[in-house]
Every structure is written in C-alpha cells, then in structure tokens.
Amino acid sequence: VLTESELIAFISRGRAGAPARKGDLGIGDDCAVLKVGARSLLVTVDLMAEGVHFDLAYTPPYLLGRKAVAASLSDIAAMGGTPRGVFVSAALPAKTKPAFARALVEGIHEEARAAGAAVLGGDTSSSMHRIFLDVVAIGEASRRGPILRRGARAGDAIYVSGTLGASARGLELLRKGFRPWSRRLWSRSLLVRGREADRRRDELVAALAHLLPRPRLALGRALGVQGLPSAMIDVSDGLAIDLHRLCDASRVGASIELARIPVDSAAAAGRPGRAPALALGGGEDYELLFTAPARAERRLMAIAERLREPLARIGRITPARRGVVLVDGSGRRRPLPRAGFEHFRSATRTT
C-alpha cells in the first residue's frame, strides 16, 4: 500500500520540474514562495475528498465550502501572509441537487469574503460517485518576507495560539451521530441545568470547532508584519506531528510541557481524561504553532492581547540531538511520538 509520505517523497525527489528560481521555495513548507519583484507570493493547495476528509452525513454543504477555503487560508496565515485570492475546483456527482451546490458555493464565497480573498477562478467536473474539492490559495508575504518552518533555533520559546483538541472531539461526536442542529437536542437542552448543561454546550462547541474552523488569519498576518517568529506552521494534523515537522525543517529538537498545552475545555466534553490526547494528536485545530527568541515575548503578548487571540508558551527549542520530548505533569521526559490521537489515547491516560 502506498502511504501519503511515500507519495510525497516520490514527487519531491524528482526535483519537481525545472529548478526553482533563486529566492523561490517549493515543496516542504505550508506554502510555496514565489519571489516577484521585491515581494513574495505565497501559493498553497488543499484537496478535500468525500469519505476521506469529510462525510456528508454530518457536513452540511455550506459548512463544507467554508471549511475547504479555511483550510487553505490557514496555510497562508502559517507563513505570516495576507490572503489575496482563491481558485476553487469542484468535482460533483451528476446526482447533486442544485440546492446543495448553491449552498456549497455560498460557503466558499463567504469564507473567502471574510478573509479579504477574491474567488479568482477554478474548474468544475462531474464525478462518478464522490465529491472532490480543491482550493488553491494565493497570498502575499509581509515586506519582511515569509515565515518559514526552518528558522527555529535552540533556545527559542515555542508558542501555540488558541486552544487544541476541540475539533477532534467534535469529529468523534459527529461520527457517533451527534448533530448540532437536531431538533431533539435543542428541545432537550432547554430542560437541563448545571453539569449536564455544560456537557451539552461543550459538545456543541466541539462539533462546531470541527465543522467551522476559524484559521488565525489576523494573528498570522500581525506576526508576519512584525517578523517576530523564527519559524511557524499551522496545526492541521495535530500538535505532535506538526511540531515534529517544524523541528525537522529547522534541524532542532524541542521540549514541551504537557501541563502548558492549551487544551480546549470542549475537548473534554463528556470524556475529561482523554482531552490531552485529543490536544496532542487530534487534527484540524488550525491554530498557529511558532517559535521566537525570548526577547520577543513582550511584543508577542501585546499582539495577542490586541487581537484577543490567546497565546500559550508550551516549551523550548533544543539542539537536535535532544530530540522532541514531552514533559508530563510529574516531570518525566519521554520522546514525543510523531503520531495522531489513537496513539496518545493510551500514552496520556491518567489513572
């Protein structure tokens, strides 16, 4: 069986067409970078396949359109850039209802509009059975240049925006049949108080975090304008995997503290013991993970406060030989697995 990383290795080993021009950057970061005059264009693409990335049983077309665009825009934010436009290609089965397509397109337009990006074009096709949505996002790097994954240095602090784990918990709930719009849910919700009401609210928040992610565009742009991060990536596949990617690109190690990871309270919805695992290994949070020298902290916190985006310092970059490690609540250090939620479920269980 061909794995995704094998396929990417085939593509990038082949030197991918003509050599990139000086100053350009190809495969290996959140976006490709194309130098045009004094500025840099950012280009990224994200493909969503029905049955793999989304399930129509719990994904309304409007939210699907928004999320497809949001996922691509998040990669522009991860370079400290500003979105300019998107190209959207869609392959829809012949049986697709016009109302479905209309809602899908409305979601695409709305997400792009909210981000200040124009829908510049795309392509359409019919498909045998399933929906495919492919979004190319184009952005502009700040005048200081794009923030790459490869700039982290030993001694830099590691930060993550927002909170983690809610989207993965939301996906679990949706897969089990939870529907945030079900009439039964809302009529029942009116009758409960206290803990039960909190749990139901958390479930709603988690499901929405999964269906309607909010990429950190304003924060990414502000960080890019001030040029504060030494390296940055967005958390699309889980904090553990994405931290490894940043460390690989920078050829450094890292040490993060479990207790400092901003676990979303909704990630615990009904299952508090599993929240740290969801925060480390769950994907699709679309938060920003970045590193910066210690002297930048005051300016970073000022930006976060102005934008009302929470920012947590979760650890420190170390020399490569120390590897990427997780320090748990009792001070025990162990290698941070390059793994998704399933792995962490057993690894972080509190007994």
Q: Which is nearer to Mg ion, 75 or 172 (CB)?
A: 75
**Could you tell me which stretch among 69-77, 138-146, 203-211, 243-251 binds Mg ion (CB under 5 A)?**
69-77
One-letter identity of residue 165: G
Interface with Mg ion, residue 285, by CB under 5 A: no
Q: How far is the CB of 318 from Mg ion (least distance, A)?
A: 23
The residue count for binding Mg ion (CB under 5 A) is 4
The Cα 6–Cα 60 span in angstroms is 33
Q: Kindly report the three-state secondary structure assignment for every residue of 301-336.
A: HHHHHHHCCCEEEEEEEECHHHCEEEECCCCCEEEC
Residues whose CB is less than 8 angstroms from the CB of residue 337 and which lie 6 or more positions away in sequence, other chains included: 240, 343, 344, 347
Mark 211-240 with x for binding to Mg ion (rule: CB under 5 A) and - for no binding. Answer: -----------------------x-x----
Interface with Mg ion, residue 264, by CB under 5 A: no
Give the CA distances from residue 281 to residues 3, 27, 128, 181, 337, in Å, rounded to whole numbers and listed in that order: 19, 24, 33, 27, 9
Mark 14-33 with x for binding to Mg ion (rule: CB under 5 A) and - for no binding. Answer: ----------------x---
| Residue number of the CB atom closest to Mg ion | 30
Q: Which is nearer to Mg ion, 204 or 235 (CB)?
A: 235
Q: Which is nearer to Mg ion, 140 or 234 (CB)?
A: 234
Mark 73-92 with x for binding to Mg ion (rule: CB under 5 A) and - for no binding. Answer: --x-----------------
Phi and psi at 174, nearest 5°, equal -65, -40
Burial group, residue 328, by CB count within 10 angstroms (0-12, 13-18, 19+): middle
Query: Which positions touch Mg ion (CB under 5 A)?
Result: 30, 75, 234, 236
